[in-house]
Amino acid sequence: MAVSHPAPAPPWIRARAVLVTVPSAAAVLLAAGAAGLLPASLALACAVGCAGLFAAASLLGTALALHRAEQAFASCRGAGLVGMGTLVATATALVPWWNPPDATGWLTTGLAVAACCYVAGVSLLPGAARSWPVRLRRAFDGAGLGVSLSFAAYLVPGVATRPAAVPAMLIATGGVAVVTVVVLRARPRPRPAMWCGGGAALVLLALGAVAALVDAGQSGAGQSGAGQGGPLLALAGLLIIAGMTASALGGSRRDIPLPPLEPRNPDQYLASYPLLAIPAAVGVVAAVWHLVTVRRFDNQAIIFGLVMVSVLVVRELLVVRDIRRYAGRLRIAEAHFRSLVAGATDLTLVLDERLTVRWQSPAAARLFGLRDDEVIGREFSDLIHPEDVADAQAVIASVLAGEHEGGPPVLVSARMRDGARLWRDTESTISDQRAVPEVAALVVHVRDVGERVHLERTLHRLSYLDQLTGLANRRALMRDLLAHRRRPGMRGNLIVIDLHGLAEVNDARGREVGDAVLVEVSRRIKQLIGEEDVAARLGGDEFAVLTTESAVPAYALATRVVTVLGEAYQLPGGSVDLHSSVGLAELAGGADSDEVLRHADMARQRARQLGVNRVEWYDPDVEIQLHRRMELEQQLLGAAGRGELDLAFQPVTGLRDGRPVGVEALLRWRHPDLGTILPEEILPIARALGITAELDEWVLDEACRSLTAWAGGDEDFWLSVNVGPRELLTARFPERVATTLKRHGLNPERLVVEVAETWIAEDVPAIVAALSGLRKLGVRAALDDFGAGQTSLSHLRRLPVDMLKLSQSLITGGPGSVLDVVVSLGRRLGLEIVAKGLETQERVDRAAAAGCRYGQGFALAHPAPAERIEAYLDSHRTG
């Protein structure tokens, strides 16, 4: 089984262990010297020599390692200079054992060199100072402290009697003072730097004591080691060893982290000046006491005093300069602050914990027209709109409770009163600065957001508004539709309106005219609806009205809309006529708003299929019919090719003898799934698909083929086919008719082209020209459903027709005199009269009594395929 070994200790820990072991051994030597086992000076030399060499080696090794690693944050120069100071202090401690003629002078010189090395080294340690001016200033502060303490020490009785020791005492005191100031003023103060500085100060003090002992002749030099100064010298040596060990322990650390860069203000420097003035006060007290007790000062004391006073004066002058510079910086910073605050776009308020305004920025008068006497001293809630006070106080209470500590400033939206007593929309950020001693309050930055709020409201309104007509758009309609559906006791209807003819207006007169028509349409719709109704433009030429009325008033409103929109639009360049189709759907009839809109739109489509200017309700049958219509539209295009189209023929018989004189060809679509589809459903689909001409041509060709195929037919038996106005008015229609007759070998007089009376009013001159062209071919024409439209009797004289097919309404509804007049007029014009819709014997008798020569209807004969018609003709002609 593998045995785990503990990880080796870091190198600096091993070095520190050696540094602790060696001083322990040196302390044993000093104890031997103090006990008289060894000469005191020899014990001091051996002990300090061993400890000093190890400490210096550690410090210089650290300096070289840092230099190779280029670690600028732990300056190698600082560690090296402290190591050099340790070497010099070690050599100086050998002077008592060496005992030269001027031992005190050698001690003073060594002490001075060691002090310089220690002061320079400690000043270069990490965090001590970042520039030489700062280091020199701290050295001067330390020198002033040292002079003050030295003056006080000099006045101690007995010190002045030993002038040789005074320089050493001054140097030691000055060095200790400088090192102390440098270490205490370092920011931050790492523990290794404090150990290093404390050790240097201890070494300097001990060396000064050694110099004093040597000067007093108490060093024990030349004795056997049992002199009376041995214990004091051993104690000084112990202090030197402790100081060197502490310096080595602090200066040999190589893992000191980079000190953080903290902002430093002049007040941090000024705050320590009272502490530095305490030693000066000690010197003054010592001078006063000396004057009281001794009553005189010698020359050296006077010089000491003058030096101390000079240093203090210079130091105070420097302090005054620092204060003035700091005050100047404060004035500049305050001026910058005032200029920034005065020119800011935000109003700044300072509130205490009772939410009372204690200060407002100078921008208040410019931004909000608020004077200081109107704001300062009042509660912040007094400036806020009553409806917004509760929310603002709740947010501020959460700030005071510390709920947002460490987070971004809290935002408060509220209306605030300005100097003109008007409410403005504002946003305020609240920052808790109670932890800052200079502020100790809540800081509120108020921004006027009225323009932004107005813009947001405008954009919101525009997003629900049709820009051209000013009506609501689709989004607004769906929003209001949803709101109506959520009301208790939901009632109402949705009306969807589709305009017809606007595309032609845009093509013929331009989109400007088309836009003017849309604006007029919206104006007419708004005039018709109630206050609670919503008019909207869905897009293009589609409009909608959301009404709260019930079914009957809603249908009446839709009818009025159709009527009003059908009136002429007077525009520059002439009037414009439009048609419309309207669909209605109940709000309660759909599962959601989208389904209600879909229902209304399907009803509108159904209205459009049935014609123009129509109103249709939505019901499930409408959807079925629309699906049927779409299916038929898809399948009608190929119906002829698939053989699904067929013809049925309805005979026209004489009312006097009952013999057939002709037939009318009727189109049928034999749908494989839906069964037989009649022309009433086929022709609108064909017109929508644009294939009416193809169907008419197919009907004409098939009818002529059937007519020629019937055996036993005479030349007077005729065939009639229905033709739409668009097909009739095409230039190629007469040519196609002539080609078909020629292909089947039919006499043109046997073909009758029927034109519905309801189409004549669309373009009477064009219809007259087209029928005249057919008459030139020999083809006869019939006016179908006469009496159902608005054709004037005067038009009857102009139309080149040969036959009148009377509407069923003339036979069943009108008085007999009207039927008699129409028949009499037709006979005078030389027209053959055919009565349609004769489904009962009573109608047959009535038509015959009025003078109608021919008749057509179920009472006479039902429509039938070509095969059955051929048999019918054979049987009736034979009969």
| 3-state SS string for 805-873 | EECHHHHHCCCHHHHHHHHHHHHHCCCEEEEECCCCHHHHHHHHHHCCCEEECCCCCCCECHHHHHHHH
- What mean pLDDT is predicted for residues 131-147? 70
Cβ-Cβ contacts under 8 Å for 305 (sequence gap 6 or more): 151, 287, 297
- Output 805 or 299, whichever has higher pLDDT: 805
Within this chain, do residues 118 and 240 fall inside the same structural domain, yes or no? yes
Consecutive H or E run containing 586 = strand 579-586
CB-hemisphere CA count at 13 Å for 784?
A: 18
- Residue 37: pLDDT band with limits 50, 70, 90: confident
Fill in the amino acid letter for 263: P
* pLDDT at residue 524, as a whole number: 93
Distance CA 762, CA 101 (A): 147
What is the predicted pLDDT for the residue at 494?
Answer: 92
More confident residue, 522 or 457: 522
| Predicted pLDDT at 221 | 40
State whether 295 and 361 are in the same domain. no
Tokens 């030269």 -> residue = 100
- With a cut of 80, say whether residue 446 has pLDDT above it: yes
pLDDT of residue 405: 74
Residues 302 and 360 both lie in one domain: no
Q: What mean pLDDT comes out for the span 409-435?
A: 84
Question: What is the per-residue pLDDT for 713?
Answer: 56
Same domain, 310 and 410: no
What pLDDT does residue 693 have?
Answer: 82
Same domain, 277 and 134: yes
For residues 450 and 513, state if they share a domain. no
Classify residue 1: in a domain, yes or no. Answer: no
Contact 418, 360 (CB under 8 A): no
pLDDT at residue 489 greater than cutoff 80: no
Q: How much is the mean pLDDT over the chain?
A: 79
Give the pLDDT score at 18.
59
Here the CATH number for the domain that contains residue 383 is: 3.30.450.20
Q: What is the CATH number of the domain that holds 516?
A: 3.30.70.270
Instruction: Looking at the structure, tell me whether residues 55 and 102 fall in a common domain.
Output: yes
Checking if the pLDDT of 522 tops 70, the result is: yes
Which stretch of 169-183, 589-603, 788-802, 812-826 has the lowest confidence by average pLDDT? 788-802
Residue 698 has pLDDT above 70, yes or no: yes
In order of 479, 486, 614, the CA distances from 308 in angstroms are 90, 94, 116
Q: Are 524 and 516 in contact (CB under 8 A)?
A: no
Segment 856-864 long-range contacts (CB within 8 Å, at least 24 positions apart): 856/650, 856/651, 856/652, 856/653, 856/664, 856/805, 860/651, 860/653, 860/658, 861/650, 861/651, 861/653, 861/660, 862/650, 863/648, 863/649, 863/650, 863/666, 864/648, 864/649, 864/650
Residue that wins the pLDDT comparison between 486 and 88: 88
Residue 813 sits in a domain whose CATH number is 3.20.20.450
User: Residue 557 — very low, low, confident or very high, per pLDDT cuts 50/70/90?
Assistant: very high
* Residue 346 predicted with pLDDT over 90: no
Look at residue 632 and tell me if it is in a domain.
no
- According to the model, what pLDDT value does residue 264 have? 46
Looking at the domain assignment, is residue 182 inside a domain? yes
Q: What percentage of the chain has pLDDT greater than the value 70? A: 82
Domain count, the chain: 4
Q: What is the pLDDT of residue 261?
A: 44
How would residue 352 be classed by pLDDT, with cut points 50, 70 and 90? confident
- pLDDT tier, 523 (very low <50, low <70, confident <90, very high otherwise): very high
> Is 308 inside a domain boundary?
yes
- Domain membership flag for residue 491: yes
* Residue 743 tokens, joined: 């292909």
Backbone torsion region of residue 125, taken as left when φ is above 0, otherwise alpha when ψ lies between -120 and 50, otherwise beta = beta
Q: Are residues 602 and 663 in the same domain?
A: no
pLDDT on residue 581: 92
Instruction: For residue 570, count CB atoms less than 10 angstroms from its CB and return exposed for 0-12, middle for 13-18, buried for 19 or more.
Output: exposed
Per-residue model confidence (pLDDT) at position 277: 65
Residue 528 C-alpha from the chain's centroid: 41
pLDDT at 556: 92
Domain boundary among the residues 409, 430, 455 is at 455
* Residue 512: partners with Cβ closer than 8 Å, 6 or more residues away: none
Domain range holding 544?
A: 467-618
What per-residue confidence (pLDDT) applies to 535? 92
Burial track 733-753 (b if 16+ CB lie within 10 A, e otherwise): bbebbbebbeebebebebbbb
Virtual CA dihedral for 129, 133, 138, 143, nearest 10 degrees? 140
Instruction: Supply the DSSP string of 713-731, one letter for each residue.
Output: --TT-EEEEE--HHHHTST
Which residue would you say has higher pLDDT here, 670 or 23? 670
Does 488 lie in the same domain as 431? no
Within-domain flag for 320: no
pLDDT exceeds 60 at position 229: no
Domain end: 455, 476, 494, which one? 455
Residues 567 and 678 in one domain: no
830 plus 687 within the same structural domain:
yes
> pLDDT tens digits for 155-165?
666 555 555 56
Per-residue pLDDT at 761:
61
In a domain, 210, yes or no: yes
User: Comparing 404 with 257, which gets the higher pLDDT?
Assistant: 404
Is 5 a domain residue?
Answer: no
> What are φ and ψ of residue 678, in 5° steps?
-85, 165
| Residue that is last in its domain, among 389, 420, 455 | 455
Contact 816, 785 (CB under 8 A): no
More confident residue, 817 or 450: 450
The rounded percent of the chain whose pLDDT value lies above 90 is: 6
CA dist 97 and 40 (Å) reads 8
Confidence at residue 157, expressed as pLDDT on a 0 to 100 scale: 60
Q: Does position 48 have pLDDT exceeding 70, yes or no? A: yes
| pLDDT tens digits, 265-319 | 444 444 345 555 666 677 777 777 767 777 777 666 677 677 777 777 777 777 7
Residue, of 562 and 712, whose pLDDT is higher: 562
The DSSP bridge pattern shows strands 442-448 and 346-351 to be antiparallel
Residue 836 token pair: 């349609």
774 and 679 share one domain:
yes
Task: Of 49-58, 113-122, 135-144, 514-523, give the lowest mean pLDDT range.
Answer: 135-144
Residue written as token pair 């510079």: 325
